[in-house]
Structure 1
C-alpha cells in the first residue's frame, strides 16, 4: 500500500471528483481547500505519509506556483502533479520550472491521472532508494568528486583549493541549483577540518521568529515553546565548518548578531546569561546580488564586507554546456543501483542535443531531476528525446531532431576523470565529445534566425521574441529583464508598449501598430 495522495484545490466539485478517482485507484486521499492548508499538511507530522501532491495552479491566496516555491525553499521533495484549466505552454513551462513533476489539464481523464500518479510513485520509490544508497556511501567530498570538464569551472576549482588551505570567510555566489553547497563541501573536505562537523543552515527556509534561536541557540524557558535548551548551529559546528546557505534572506536584526559572531568568535544564546566561544570556518552562499541588497538597505554593509573576504562565483549551467554530457552520465549511474532491473545503456545523441540546447534556469538541480525522471520512466534501454517531453517542447524548432535519434551509448562522453586538480589546471582538449546529429551546431540558441521559407526573419520579429523569452525566463522581473537585454527600464517599457505586451503578464494583449 502506497502513501496518501494530497489533493489541493479550492473548487469543492473538483476536490470530490479527484478524491473519488484517487480512492478508486486504491490510494488514500487527503483533501484541503487551498495552498496554505496544503503547506500545513506538508509541514505537519503526517507529511511522511504523503507520496504525491495533486495541486491546482489557480487558487485564491497562495496559488500553485507559490506552493511549489515554498516546497523548494523548505526542501520538500514530494512529487507534484499540477492541474489547471489553462493548458498553454507558458503555464506548463512555469510549473515545471518551479519543480512540478507532471502537468494535467482539467478535466483530466481517469487514465491520464492514474498514469501520472503511477509514474510519480515509481519515481519517488527509486528516489528513496537512491537517497538510502547515497547515505550508505557517505564519505567526504573533495574537488576530485566534481563532475566537470568545463573551462568555466576551472577557476572555481582553483579558487576553492586555495580557500581550503586557509580559514578566512568565503562567500559562494551563483544562481539556485548551480552546486554552491557542493563547492562548500569540497572546500571543507579538502582542508584541515575535513574530519570535523559540517553543519548546513538554509537561512531562507527558517521562519523569521526562529532564525536567532536556530543559529545561536536558546535556554530553556527563554520564550514560549522553549521547553528544552538548544545549543544552536554555531555551537554544533564548533571546530568544524558552518555553511549558511541563502544568507541574503537573513533578517536585519539577526545580521547584527551574526556580525558579532564572525568578528568576535562568540554567540549569545537567546535567554542566556553569558556568551559562548566558538571556533568555526564560515562559508556563506547566496543566489542574490548582495551588493545590491546593501544598496537597497536589506543587507548590512559591514556584514557584507566581513563575509565577502573571498568570493567564489559558480557559473550557471548554460555557461558550461560542455559539462552536460558528463553530468547526464553521472546522474544515470546514480539511478542504476536503485533500479537494477532497468539498466540503461546510455542516451541518444539527439536527446543529448536537446539537453544541451536548453538553458536550464534551474541549473544542475533541474537537469538531475529531468534525467532522473526520464531514467526511471524510460521504456527502452536508451534515453531518447521523447523521454524529455517538456524540454523538447521548448527547444523544438531550433534543432534538427529528424537525424539519427538512436545512437549507441558509446557516443556519449564517458564520465570525467577524478584526478586531482592544481594551480596549473588546463582544460582537456582531447576529451571525447558526444556525437551530435547532422545539422546541430556545437552551441545552441533558443531563437530561430530563419523563417519557414528559409529567409532571414525580420529584426522586429526576433526582438519581440527575445523580449518575450526574457520576460518568461526571469519570471517577469523587469529590472533583471532590462539588465540582461542590455537596455534601460524605460526603453524596455517603451518597447513593451510598441509591441503591445502587457508588463504584468508578459503576453501580447493587442496587435502592434
Structure 2
C-alpha cells in the first residue's frame, strides 16, 4: 500500500455511499474527510481546512445544494481544487453539464475501485504539475505569493505570517537559516506580495562573485573606468530600480563593498566605478545569510552599522528537521514533478516505511537535499511506488526509523541552550516574550516526549530524554560535531572557534570516535 499522499473531501448525502468511498480512498493510500451535503462541502472549502484538501469526490444529486450548485459556488470563489463528479445517471447531458460547471472527471455509480483509483491518481498528478508550472511562472514574473508556498508546518506558517507583514512596507529584511531551507523562495514571495510585484526581482549570490568583481557587478562601472572596462556596465542596484534587490549570502561581501552598500541604504544612491556623480536608485533590499552575522560583527568581519541597517526585520527559517510535517507534502510534490520529467508516470506514491525513513533523517542539506534525494529515487524506482531500497544513502545514515504516526504535529517546546548570542531583534521570529515578566510564575513540567526531539538550529539540548541534565561529555561531543559540520570540516577553523588547539581537537575526535572519515587535511588544501 502506498503512503497517504493526498486528502480527499467526500461529499454525499448517502451515509452508506460515504462509508464505501471512505474505505476505498483509505485502501488507495489517501486520507479523507466527509461532508453530508453541498452546503457543508462549501463551508469546508472556504474555511481553514481548505488548504489541506487536494481533491473532491462530489455527488451530483443532493437536497438543497446539489453538485452543480457546489461547482458553481467553487468557481465563483475561484477555488481550483480538482473535482470528480459521481451520479447514478450517466447520460451525456449530465456529463456535459458537470464538465461545463468545472468538474475534471465523471464516474457513474456504482464506480469500480480500479476506475476510481486511476481517476484520483491522474487528477492529483495533473494538479501537482499545474501547481508547479504556476509556481515557476509566478517566480519568473515576480508574482509568486505566500499562497504558492508548500507547507503544513506551524513553524513555517509563522514565517509566512511575518513575511506577509513585511511585504506591506519597504522595511529592509534579513532572512536567516541554513543552506537549502528556501530563503530565496521567501524573498520571492515577499516581492510578489508587495506593491513592487510588477517590477524586477534581482538576485545576487554574493558568495559566488570574485572579490575583485563584486563592486563592479553590484554598482556598475563606466567605460574605461579600469583596464578591461571596454563598455559601460549597469550594476545590480540599477537593474533593481523600482523593484527588489535580493542579496543572498550577504555576509560574504568584502569590507570595502560593505561601506558602499551602507551608503546606498542610507542615501538611496550609488557610485558606479568611474562615474562623475552618484546615481539615485529606488529599491527594496532583502538580504539572506546561512551564517550568523552577529558573530561576524564580533569578529570584525562584518560592519556593525551595516548589520543593524540590514537586520531591521529579521526572519528566521527553521531547518527541515524541525518541521517534519512538511516532508510528506514536499516529497509528493517532488515525486510528481520528477516522475513527469523522467517519463515515469507509473511512479505515483511512496511506501509508508520509506516515508518513515525520510522523516527519521536529519536532512543537513534541508529542502534542496530532499529534492535531489527524491529525484534520485524516482530515477532508481522500477515499481509503482518509492520504497526504502530507492533511498540507500538515507537508509545508511539512519540508525532507527521512527513511525510517522508517532511524530509530533508541531515542534515541542523543550529546554535548550543556545550556542551563540541571540540578537535582541531575533525574538520577532519566535514566540513573543511577555511585555512584563511575572516573577511568581512557575512553568508547568514538560511532558516526557518534550525531551525526545532535536533542538532548533543554533541551539543545544540541555536535558536528556528522561529530563535530566546531560553529561558534559555528551554536550562536548555534540558541539564538536556541530562545529565540524558548520565549518565544512575545516579543522583549523573548528579548533579556532572552539578555542582549543588542533592537537587537542584531534585527541577529542579520537576519544569520541569522530576521527574516521574526518577531512583533517581539507583546510591545508584550501
Residues 312-337 of structure 1: per-residue CA shift (max 9 Å, x gap): 00011111111100110111122233
Q: CA deviation at 1:296?
A: 0.4
The match for 1:359 is 362
Number of matched residues? 329
Residues 15-71 of structure 1: per-residue CA shift (max 9 Å, x gap): xxxxxxxxxxxxxxxxxxxxxxxxxxxxxxxxxxxxxxxxxxxxxxxxxxxxxxxxx
Q: CA deviation at 1:505?
A: 6.7
* Separation in structure 2 between the aligned mates of residue 216 and residue 196 of structure 1, nearest angstrom: 19
The match for 1:26 is none
Gaps of at least 5 residues in structure 1 are 1-129, 404-412, 414-441, 447-458, 509-513
Q: CA deviation at 1:472?
A: 5.8
The match for 1:36 is none
CA contact (8 A) 2:346 2:383 kept: no
* Separation in structure 1 between the aligned mates of residue 228 and residue 495 of structure 2, nearest angstrom: 47
- Map 1:175-214 → 2, pairs under 5 A: 175-214=178-217
Q: CA deviation at 1:151?
A: 1.3
CA contact (8 A) 2:324 2:359 kept: yes
* Separation in structure 2 between the aligned mates of residue 363 and residue 164 of structure 1, nearest angstrom: 25
CA contact (8 A) 1:217 1:270 kept: yes
The match for 2:439 is none
Residues 99-148 of structure 1: per-residue CA shift (max 9 Å, x gap): xxxxxxxxxxxxxxxxxxxxxxxxxxxxxxx9999766745211111111
| Counterpart pick for 2:294 among 291, 294, 300 | 291
* Separation in structure 1 between the aligned mates of residue 385 and residue 516 of structure 2, nearest angstrom: 42
CA contact (8 A) 1:468 1:506 kept: no
| Counterpart pick for 2:508 among 475, 496, 508 | 496
- Map 1:72-87 → 2, pairs under 5 A: none
Quickly say closer, same or farther: Cα 1:479–1:291, change in 2 above 3 A.
farther
What is the DSSP-based 3-state SS (H/G/I as helix, E as strand, rest coil) of the residue aligned with 2:276?
Answer: coil
* Separation in structure 2 between the aligned mates of residue 371 and residue 231 of structure 1, nearest angstrom: 40
CA contact (8 A) 2:135 2:148 kept: no
- Map 1:70-469 → 2, pairs under 5 A: 138-139=140-141, 140-395=143-398, 397-399=399-401
Quickly say closer, same or farther: Cα 1:159–1:489, change in 2 above 3 A.
farther
Residues 460-493 of structure 1: per-residue CA shift (max 9 Å, x gap): 9978985785566444467998999xx9869x95
* Separation in structure 2 between the aligned mates of residue 183 and residue 482 of structure 1, nearest angstrom: 34
Quickly say closer, same or farther: Cα 1:241–1:372, change in 2 above 3 A.
same
What is the DSSP-based 3-state SS (H/G/I as helix, E as strand, rest coil) of the residue aligned with 1:372?
Answer: helix
Quickly say closer, same or farther: Cα 1:482–1:225, change in 2 above 3 A.
closer
Quickly say closer, same or farther: Cα 1:343–1:462, change in 2 above 3 A.
farther
* Separation in structure 2 between the aligned mates of residue 303 and residue 504 of structure 1, nearest angstrom: 41
CA contact (8 A) 1:501 1:507 kept: no
CA contact (8 A) 2:336 2:348 kept: no
What is the DSSP-based 3-state SS (H/G/I as helix, E as strand, rest coil) of the residue aligned with 2:401?
Answer: coil
CA contact (8 A) 1:470 1:481 kept: no
CA contact (8 A) 2:171 2:284 kept: yes
What is the DSSP-based 3-state SS (H/G/I as helix, E as strand, rest coil) of the residue aligned with 1:321?
Answer: coil
Quickly say closer, same or farther: Cα 1:224–1:320, change in 2 above 3 A.
same
Quickly say closer, same or farther: Cα 1:461–1:346, change in 2 above 3 A.
farther
* Separation in structure 1 between the aligned mates of residue 473 and residue 342 of structure 2, nearest angstrom: 47
* Separation in structure 1 between the aligned mates of residue 342 and residue 204 of structure 2, nearest angstrom: 32
* Separation in structure 1 between the aligned mates of residue 152 and residue 391 of structure 2, nearest angstrom: 24
Quickly say closer, same or farther: Cα 1:287–1:354, change in 2 above 3 A.
same
Q: CA deviation at 1:227?
A: 1.4
Gaps of at least 5 residues in structure 2 are 1-130, 410-450, 456-470, 521-526
What is the DSSP-based 3-state SS (H/G/I as helix, E as strand, rest coil) of the residue aligned with 2:325?
Answer: helix
Quickly say closer, same or farther: Cα 1:343–1:350, change in 2 above 3 A.
same
Quickly say closer, same or farther: Cα 1:175–1:388, change in 2 above 3 A.
same
What is the DSSP-based 3-state SS (H/G/I as helix, E as strand, rest coil) of the residue aligned with 2:203?
Answer: strand
* Runs of 4+ with >6 A deviation: 130-134, 442-446, 459-465, 477-484, 487-490, 502-505
| TM-score, structure 2 as length reference | 0.55
Q: CA deviation at 1:444?
A: 7.1
The match for 1:58 is none
Quickly say closer, same or farther: Cα 1:230–1:343, change in 2 above 3 A.
farther
* Separation in structure 2 between the aligned mates of residue 187 and residue 294 of structure 1, nearest angstrom: 27
Quickly say closer, same or farther: Cα 1:479–1:311, change in 2 above 3 A.
farther
Quickly say closer, same or farther: Cα 1:482–1:211, change in 2 above 3 A.
closer
The match for 2:422 is none
Q: CA deviation at 1:342?
A: 3.4
| C-alpha RMSD of the superposition | 3.9
* Separation in structure 1 between the aligned mates of residue 187 and residue 158 of structure 2, nearest angstrom: 15
| TM-score, structure 1 as length reference | 0.57
